[in-house]
C-alpha cells in the first residue's frame, strides 16, 4: 500500500497524520516541503503514536523530571516533553528508572502536580534556512511502531507562512 499525502496551512503548522493499521508499521519513504516566505525557525518533526499526558509531574529547576505514573522506558528517549516550566524543544535524553527521566534543557521552575506531555518523536530536523526542501533519497526510510499512527508536522517558528508538506507513505507488515 502506498499513498502520497499532502497538508497545507496558512499562518500555522502544516500537519499530516498517517493512520494506524493494526499489525502494520507506517514507513515514510519521502518528504517534501515548501514555504511562501522564509521562516524564522522552521522544524520538521515526525511523531510515532499519540502523546501521553501525566498530571503528577515534578520539576526542580534541573534537567530531572519525575512522575509516579509516567512509566518511563528507553522508548521515551528522544521524545519531546512539554509542560509548565519546561523549556520549548526539551527532549528526554536518558531514563533513570520508571519514575525519573533526564531532559535536554533544565526546567525553569520547581513545581509539583505539573501536567507533562510526552510526545514520541522519531524524526526532528531544523529547516530554519527556509525555502523548499526534500528528503527523497532512495535509501531514506523512517519507520514507525506497528499499530501506531504517525504525525508529521512542518512549523514555521513564528513566521506568517503558507506551509505545504508532502509525504509518500508505504505501510509494511
Q: What is the spatial distance between Cα 125 and Cα 135, in angstroms, rounded to a whole number?
A: 11
Q: What is the spatial distance between Cα 28 and Cα 75, in angstroms, rounded to a whole number?
A: 20
Q: What is the pLDDT of residues 65-87, one digit of tens each?
A: 999 999 999 999 999 999 999 99
Q: Which three cell numbers stand for residue 55?
A: 498530571
> Global pTM?
0.75
Which whole number is the average pLDDT over 99-105? 97
Q: Which distant-in-sequence residues (6+ apart) come within 8 Å of 129 by Cβ? A: none
Which whole number is the average pLDDT over 48-54? 90
Q: What is the pLDDT of residues 84-99, one digit of tens each?
A: 999 988 999 999 999 9
Which whole number is the average pLDDT over 29-43? 65
Q: What is the pLDDT of residues 147-163, one digit of tens each?
A: 777 777 766 555 444 45
Longest dimension (CA), the chain: 48
Q: In the CATH hierarchy, which fold is given to the domain comprising 2-48+125-172?
A: Jelly Rolls (2.60.120)
Q: What is the spatial distance between Cα 97 and Cα 87, in angstroms, rounded to a whole number?
A: 22
Whether 146 contacts 58, CB under 8 Å: no
Whether 109 contacts 61, CB under 8 Å: yes
Q: How many residues does the chain have?
A: 173
Model pLDDT, residue 160? 41
- Report the helix count and the strand count for the chain, using DSSP H and E: 0, 15
Q: Which three cell numbers stand for residue 22?
A: 493494526
Which whole number is the average pLDDT over 12-39? 67
Average per-residue pLDDT in the chain?
A: 78
Give the torsion through C-alpha atoms of 99, 101, 107, 109, to 10 deg.
20
Model pLDDT, residue 165? 57
Kindly give the residue spans of alpha helices, DSSP state H, lying in the chain. Answer: none
Q: What is the pLDDT of residues 124-146, one digit of tens each?
A: 877 665 556 666 655 566 777 77
Domain spans of the chain?
Answer: 2-48+125-172, 52-119
Amino acid at each position: 500500500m502506498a499513498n502520497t499525502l499532502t497538508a497545507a496551512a496558512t499562518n500555522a503548522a502544516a500537519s499530516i497524520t498517517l493512520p494506524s493499521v493494526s499489525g502494520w508499521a507506517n514507513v515514510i519513504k519521502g518528504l517534501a516541503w515548501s514555504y511562501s516566505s522564509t521562516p524564522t525557525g522552521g522544524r520538521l518533526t515526525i511523531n510515532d503514536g499519540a502523546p501521553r499526558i501525566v498530571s503528577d509531574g515534578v520539576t526542580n529547576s534541573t534537567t530531572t523530571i519525575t512522575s509516579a505514573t509516567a512509566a518511563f522506558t528507553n522508548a521515551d528517549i528522544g521524545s519531546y516533553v512539554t509542560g509548565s516550566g519546561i523549556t520549548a524543544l526539551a527532549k528526554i535524553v536518558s531514563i533513570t528508572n520508571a519514575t525519573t527521566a533526564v531532559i535536554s534543557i533544565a526546567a525553569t521552575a520547581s513545581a509539583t502536580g505539573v501536567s507533562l506531555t510526552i510526545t514520541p518523536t522519531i524524526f526532528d530536523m531544523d529547516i530554519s534556512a527556509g525555502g523548499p526542501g526534500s528528503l527523497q533519497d532512495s535509501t531514506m526510510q523512517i519507520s514507525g511502531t506497528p499499530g501506531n499512527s504517525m504525525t508529521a508536522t512542518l512549523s514555521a517558528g513564528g513566521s506568517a507562512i503558507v506551509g505545504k508538506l508532502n509525504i509518500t507513505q508505504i505501510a509494511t507488515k
